[in-house]
Structure 1
Amino acid sequence: MLTPAQTQLWDRINGFQLDDPHAEFKFSERLARENGWSMRYTHRVIAEYKKFLFLCYVAERGVTPADAVDQAWHLHLTFTRSYWIDLCRDTIGREIHHNPTRGGGSEAVKYHHFYTDTARLYADHFGEMPPVDIWPDHDTRFGKINFQRVSLDNYWLIRKPKHARALALSLALILLGWVFIQASDNYIFVLVFTAVLVVIMIFSYREEGRGGDKRDGDGGDSGCSTAGCGGDADSGHHGHSGHGCHSGGHSGCSSHSGCSGCSGCSSSGCSSGH
């Protein structure tokens, strides 16, 4: 449970508005578009992102966000005034730095432990476990990180079946359909059978999705960095992709050119400057 001081801090963080009411293209809309999420799921991720920021402040050892929460964090870092001044300086009163891993087995173990600690701290402070459709289990969080930035103007994206059953059913239906089409001269029958085949395949994929990633009909995971929040003051610079922002004791990041948040396929962390 929260102490009175922590309750005041949480109220400030929870009341922080990421969407500029005067902007035509708001933060939440950008986050939804870049990740293929519904607005309902996006607003839930933003709520979890605020909880993660709170845990960054109170954690003694370190915490690591879920990938979806990390995407909100990455995007917010690109809104430099909102992040460094409005949030860190004026709302939290402390800088929350996004620090990547240095690589290697020990770093991987460290961030794995951070992710486990996050669930424990979350339950301790908010009285419930984090939602599994945003905060997946440990193996999913660190196992599914094969991401790339893809232009939907140039490519079609087709979801892979997650289970052998769905794949086998799809192949069997396609083969059966080909056999019937070859054996039939009735084009109406062919059209009806094709329509039924498509409906069955769609239903199979939808049922599979309900048992896996429950994201309100949204696409799969996006982004690719493992991020955390810890007290390692010596790990504040990006290693893999070099787009990070480390203010090193400044109240913001306005004096750093090219400060555009964090990206790339790396484990990363977060330290809070006092």
Structure 2
Amino acid sequence: MYSVPEPEVADRMRRAHADVAVQFQAQAVGGAESWGWRGRTLSRLVLTPTGDGWLRLVCAPAEEAEGKLWEGPMAAELSMPADVPRPRLRRRMTWVDGEHGYLAELYDPVPNRTITVDGPVLRNEPDLDAAWWPGLAGALDLVAVVRTSRVAVRQEYLDRAMPRFLGASVNATVPAWSTAHGDLHWANLVAPSLSILDWEGWGVAPVGFDAAMLHTYSLLVPETAAQVRRHLGHVLDTPAGRFSELAVIAMLLQTVQRGDNLDLERSLRERASLLLGTAI
């Protein structure tokens, strides 16, 4: 999804991926690599004794190699309804090597590609068939009612971020909560056969958070943003959904401040101004 990281990181991740593949009795198929943000993850198609698989390696500083993000995919495997389309987790392994902690996960392979391959922002209108959108809406409705103690978005964070990036008068109090994937963007969605990837951060979030995130990452393609509003309007076109849009916009404006998603900034500010009724 992202570019190959700096050589030192790439070499270390490739060595670790090859080593754990041996542990899983897996062999890489072809040369294609799928990199995560700044080389945090490396995934490849592999062949195992029971057939094809997708081997994903996650790296974090050793002291951070635990907790919500580390346990998210396994928790999703145990908690999510079978009707939520996602690759099933077959096996996992964790270890620490010096200052780095690693998590290896072997999944069922996904037969199709993610809708974007170079990051979460949509820049071209995707070709999605008539069944894809209702499938996504139904999946998110199923996720929303899963009971969990996991937290995807914290009120304390919104209390800081929303006034900072949207204006001091913004009310950051979440009106209603439900369960969310928590990182629903175009690089985590597969077509033409729908599958939802990357369940690290799922948990409780403001109602409509997933729909709001997908809509916000679609702002550069108005036709697709309209499709998101059309098919997910039952959550977006509510006071809670509009709050979630503002929450996501604040989060992404923070990434802009850090140097990411720069081409999205103008659209973020225009959408927030429309929702708030005042320029930001």
Range of TM-score over shorter length: under 0.3
Alignment TM-score, normalising by the size of structure 2 = 0.24
Indicate the structure (1 or 2) with the bigger Cα radius of gyration. 1
| Greater strand proportion | 2
